[in-house]
Amino acid sequence: MSAAIELTGITKRFPGVIANDNVNLTVEKGEIHAICGENGAGKSTLMKILYGMQPADEGTMKVNGEEVVFSSPTDAIDRGIGMVHQHFMLADQLTVLENIILGAEPTTAGGAIKFKEAEAHLAEVAEDYGLTIDPDDMVESLEVGERQRVEIIKVLYRGAEILILDEPTAVLVPQEVEALFDNMRELKAGGATIIFIDHKLDEVLEISDSITVLRHGKTVASMPNDGVTAHDLAELMVGSELPTPDTTESTVTDHVALAIDDLTVADEDGRAVIENISLSIRKGEILGIAGVEGNGQGDLVDAIIGTTDILGGSIELLGSDLTKLSVRKRREAGIGYVPEDRHHEGLMLDAPLWENAALGHQTQEPYGSRWLLNRKGARAQTTTIKEEFDVRTPNIDVSAHALSGGNQQKLIIGRELTSNPSLLIAAHPTRGIDVGAQAAVWEQIRAARADGLATLLISADLDELIGLSDTIVVMLRGRLVARLAPEDVTPRDLGAYMTGAAHQDDNEAA
Amino acid sequence: MKWLQDQPAWIRWPIYALLGILLLTVVQSVSDTERLTATPTSREMLRWAVPIFLAGLGGLFSERAGVVNIGLEGMLILGMWFGAWGSIEYGPWIGLAIGMAGGAIGGALHAIATVTFGVDHIISGVAINILAPAITRYLSDEIWASPTTSPSTESVGDWDVPFLAGGTIFGWESPDILLTIDKWEWWFVSDVATLLRGLLRGTHWVAIIAILLVPATSWLLWRTRFGLRLRIAGENPSAGAAQGIDIVRYKYVAVIISGALAGLGGAFISTELSGLFQGGNSAGRGFIGLAALIFGNWRPGGVLIGALLFGYVFGLDLKDLDGTASHALLLVNTIVLVGVAAWAITRKRKADAILATILGALAFIWWVAAEAVPNWWSNILPYVLVLLVLVFFAQRLRMPAALGQPFRKGDT
């Protein structure tokens, strides 16, 4: 039996860069094949070539043993290859069914859509691969994981048997990742071949049958997932020892930077999303918050930053009350903020880097004064950030969306830390960025901690949380349910507290 | 209320309409006017509503495909001129078609500017609004030797509905049931009959076509491949392009249809209402169509309701020389605002409730203090209504997600 996909000697050059250098990839039928590598290793380029979005300069492609040349995704689709992009291509205000059939609508001669027939075909596909979805739901009402399922079904609906999933877990929370993996196993059982791109190694090891590692555009290893460890993979990916998030000796002082007392926050419907939370962060301390997403972590950040009203309690920074201050005043009082969603809250994607560097600090030196921007000062400061925080960009005038995720994040971290805050709120600071940038972000946070910065760290990456934090608290349904020392806690323990499986006495947690 | 919301639309809307008429009847019984529920009022309402609705429906096509069309007014003016010219040269029905073609030219211009050249949609629309009156003025001067008026045009005419409004069938005059009920002078029942008769007697053929366009548009946009692809152009064009859909083509077609519908509205004004082309006769109805589009939440039925509501305000004003009917309308406004305040309280929306109460109180004070209302009030009332809808119901309005955003081929 011939392999589902066989790429031989694929080379792709862009001006000044070789994105793929003589890459070989063989994917057997019915397997889950992981492709890992750092950002910029050439994974995406390779997949674009396989999906017909870009032509290869050299090399041959075989699908099910037949040599093929793709000039557009349509050719790839005809050969049974489908791709699920990292950023979903769905219309929120259309139904699931409308999104799925779009472009492949069964119609009468008059152009009316045969909705019954489409629904029947959808039900058939869903049953074959064990995926469930309600065709009449509006996409806007779906969770991220469900949207991804719609994308996968969309590809299957068109008859794809070879699926390319581009970083499917980057946008998902842990439980959704589990659900995705269950779906992937179902797909495999239904006879599909899956190629998926990922750089979270534990995930790769959990789900894949085979693994191909790319580095600097070259295939450095291709092997069955059999006795391979995360450590081995990481070394293959970066070509050196894997960085760890571990902090060294404690720098915690006695000076309290942030003190939250008896804080309660309600949502629009008046339900408490945060109930009677008290916590304090001292200078030089990193307080990690663990919790399944949606248990109030985001609301806590909003309350500190001032983007939501609080129902009761107090928030003090260095002894002065914040609760009556505007967001601007709070930022000026010394709060640095690395938001959870850098595209949505962290950057103006179409604006140049130097404007992005001033964002949130535009009323402060050296970016500007109360009324005016200081172009020269802002540009000089941006150049400093670029150099000190290793933001890889040709210059500071390119727009933010031209940067990779890791470099965008480094710019944000640099912007927040160079303003010398007393408190840094870091929400998922390394989400979706590669190992190299991750290590750099950790290093910067650690250095700031040594200089006496108080940090509130929220992360879904439990190893990161345990490695960086001086203290860990667990949030569940808007309350603090546990307070733990990172030295003697494992991700497994944390998971138990996060889901409510383990408990701690109230006075211990407070 | 809950029961009503569970009913299908064809039961719900007549009930809403009856409740509206009930409100008018109640207000009328404490006012010194009888025009709120008179036959001429509803007739004028429909005459005003048709061009507003056609412009609004044009806007619906364009905006559902993601192109903001503030140029509807200009396209309507082009339709007015070309409709009149076509009617004079080739007769009334062909005149309407030529009017549509005239509006479609405006639409094509807007499509070229916004879709192909990426010009800001508002700027292109405003340019068309400035261009259209100038072009028609020039053409009038060239062809009719008068910059502002044409010779009189021929109309496609109107129709009385048999039995209900005394229409004739093959020369036999059927009974006029609604008139009979009207003459009984029963409270509320006769008011309903009177208003209904205004809609069914002397009904323009174009009005009938316009009403039929509501289900036709719903079917086209929500049940056909063409409609789905047109809507994806306004919701998420990149997603459509990724499925091999020619987004640019759909945007072009949508904006051209948009212009044609606005053009039909314009041709209706010149050939059916005025009986000639006269510069300035559009009276801003293209803009009001845009307001009806927002009021109607980008849905065909909603646009029709918005157009009828605005048409009512204008239609009422037209025969209301002493301002007493518009004055009575203030009391209607008061009652509606009190209703909005009550609704806001049940939704725990404090700011909305306070604002609605204040506005309701102002309307009430005005109603008590004044005997009549100056006629500028009814001219701005449609816009006031749209502002109120935006203030109180903005969260329920859903414009197409990619409305106004430029689309370039190859964007992902």
| pLDDT tens per residue across span A187-209 | 899 889 999 998 777 888 889 99
Instruction: Note the pLDDT of residue A289.
Output: 94
**B224 and A270: CB-CB below 8 Å?**
no
The chain A residue lying nearest B236, using CA atoms, is A91
Mutant choice from A89, A150, A154, A309 vs B, greatest count of B C-beta within 10 A: A89
Q: Is the per-residue pLDDT at B409 higher than 80?
A: no
Selected for mutation to probe chain B from A85, A102, A147 (highest B CB count within 10 Å) is A102
**A89 in contact with chain B, both atoms CB, cutoff 8 A:** yes
Which chain B residues are closer than 8 Å to A110 by Cβ?
224
- Is 80 exceeded by the pLDDT of residue A124? yes
**A275: CB partners within 8 A, 6+ apart:** A264, A478, A479
- Strand ranges across the sheet with A17-27: A17-27, A5-14, A58-63, A66-68
A71: contact with B, CB 8 A cutoff: no
CA B226 vs CA A157, A302, B229: distances in Å:
20, 44, 5
Has residue A509 got a pLDDT over 70? no
pLDDT of residue A314: 92
The pLDDT-based confidence of A36 (bands split at 50, 70, 90) is: confident
Angle at B90 between CA B87 and CA B94, to 5 degrees: 70
Residue with tokens 């001032």: A306
A107/B232 CB distance under 8 A:
no
Q: Which of A132-136, A171-175, B401-405 has the weakest average pLDDT?
A: A171-175
Q: Tell me the chain B residues in contact with residue A94 when contact means C-beta distances shorter than 8 Å.
A: 228, 231-232, 235
pLDDT band at A507 (very low <50, low <70, confident <90, very high): very low
- Most A CBs within 10 A among B63, B64, B225, hence the mutation to make, goes to B225
Query: Residues A141, A142, A143, A146: what is their CA dihedral angle, to the nearest 10 degrees?
Result: 180
Nearest chain B Cα distance for residue A82, angstroms: 11
**A103 vs B235: CB contact, 8 Å cut-off?**
no
Q: Is residue B412 pLDDT above 50, yes or no?
A: no
B228 touches chain A (CB under 8 A): yes
Distance CA B295, CA A142 (A): 27
> Å from B298 to nearest chain A CA?
12
- According to the model, what pLDDT value does residue A371 have? 87
Nearest Cβ partner of A93 from B219, B242, B398?
B398
CB contact under 8 A, A91 and B243: no
pLDDT at A1: 65
Give the pLDDT score at B61: 97
**Residue of B218, B228, B229, B407 best to disrupt the A interface, most CBs of A under 10 A:** B228
DSSP result, A30-88: T-EEEEE--TTSSHHHHHHHHTTSS--SEEEEEETTEEE--SSHHHHHHTTEEEE-SS-
CB contact (8 A) between residue A107 and residue B225: yes
Lowest mean pLDDT among A254-268, B67-81, B118-132: A254-268
Domain boundaries, chain A: 5-238, 256-509
Structure tokens at A497: 């507290």
The pLDDT tens digits of the residues spanning A493-503 come to: 887 788 777 77
- CB under 8 Å to A336, separation ≥6 — which residues? A416, A417, A419, A421, A423, A424, A425
Q: What is the average pLDDT across B98-108?
A: 97
Cβ contact A92–B401 (<8 Å): yes
pLDDT for residue A510 = 44
Q: Are A456 and A422 spatial neighbours (Cβ–Cβ below 8 Å)?
A: no
Instruction: Give percent of chain B above pLDDT 70.
Output: 99
Q: Does A99 touch chain B (CB under 8 A)?
A: yes
Asked if residue A15 has a cis previous peptide bond (ω within 30° of 0), the answer is no
Indicate the pLDDT class of residue B349, thresholds 50, 70 and 90.
confident
Interface check B304 vs A, CB under 8 A:
no
Looking at CA atoms only, how far is residue A407 from chain B in angstroms?
Answer: 21
As a whole number of angstroms, the distance between CA A181 and CA B384 comes to 54
Residue A502 per-residue DSSP state? S
pLDDT at A505: 59
CA atoms within 13 A on the CB side of A245: 23
In this predicted structure, the answer to whether residue A136 has a pLDDT above a threshold of 70 is yes
Q: For residue B137, what pLDDT band results from cuts at 50, 70 and 90?
A: very high
Check if the beta carbon of residue A4 is closer than 8 Å to that of residue A29.
Answer: yes
Residues 6+ apart with CB under 8 A from A268: none
- In the predicted structure, residue B170 carries a pLDDT above the cut 90: no
Mean per-residue pLDDT, B237-250: 89
Q: What is the mean pLDDT of residues B22-32?
A: 87
Report yes or no: A407 at the B interface, CB cutoff 8 Å.
no
What is the average pLDDT score of chain B? 89
Per-domain residue ranges of chain B: 8-37+321-374, 40-160+202-313
Q: Between B319 and B306, where is the model more confident? A: B306
Distance from CA of B277 to the nearest CA of A (A): 38
CB contact under 8 A, B224 and A112: yes
User: Does B398 contact A at CB distance below 8 Å?
Assistant: yes
- Listed residue (B363, B315, B340) closest to B27, CA to CA: B363
State residue B77's pLDDT score. 97
**pLDDT band at residue B120, thresholds of 50, 70 and 90?**
very high
Architecture in CATH of A256-509:
3-Layer(aba) Sandwich (3.40)
Q: For a pLDDT cut of 70, what percent of chain A falls above it?
A: 95
Residue in the structure block whose two tokens are 């005003």: B48
Reported as a pLDDT band with limits 50, 70 and 90, residue B308 is very high
| The 3-state secondary structure of A467-498, one letter per residue | HHCCEEEEEECCEEEEEECHHHCCHHHHHHHH
User: According to the model, what pLDDT value does residue A368 have?
Assistant: 87
What is residue A321's predicted lDDT score, i.e. its pLDDT? 92
Interface of A with B in 255-294 (CB under 8 A): 270
- Mean pLDDT is highest, among A22-36, A208-222, B63-77, for B63-77
Nearest by CB to residue A113, choosing from B223, B236, B412, is: B223
Strands (DSSP E) found in B52-198: 158-159, 168-169, 172-173
Query: Per-residue confidence at B410, pLDDT binned at 50, 70, 90?
Result: low
CATH domain A5-238 topology: Rossmann fold (3.40.50)
In Å, how far is B399's CA from the nearest CA of chain A? Answer: 10
Instruction: Quote the pTM value.
Output: 0.77
B66 interfaces chain A, CB cutoff of 8 Å: no
For residue range A380-408, list pLDDT tens digits in order.
999 999 999 988 888 889 888 888 888 89
What's the average model confidence in pLDDT over A270-287? 90
Using alpha carbons only, give the angle A178, A37, A56 rounded to the nearest 5 degrees. 115
Question: Which pLDDT value is given to residue A98?
Answer: 95
Report pLDDT for A247: 60
Least confident of A193-207, A405-419, B51-65: A193-207
Three-class SS state of A403: coil
Q: What is the mean pLDDT of chain A?
A: 87
Which chain A residues are closer than 8 Å to B347 by Cβ? none
Mean pLDDT value across residues A353-358: 93
Say yes or no: A108 contacts chain B, CB-CB below 8 A. Answer: no
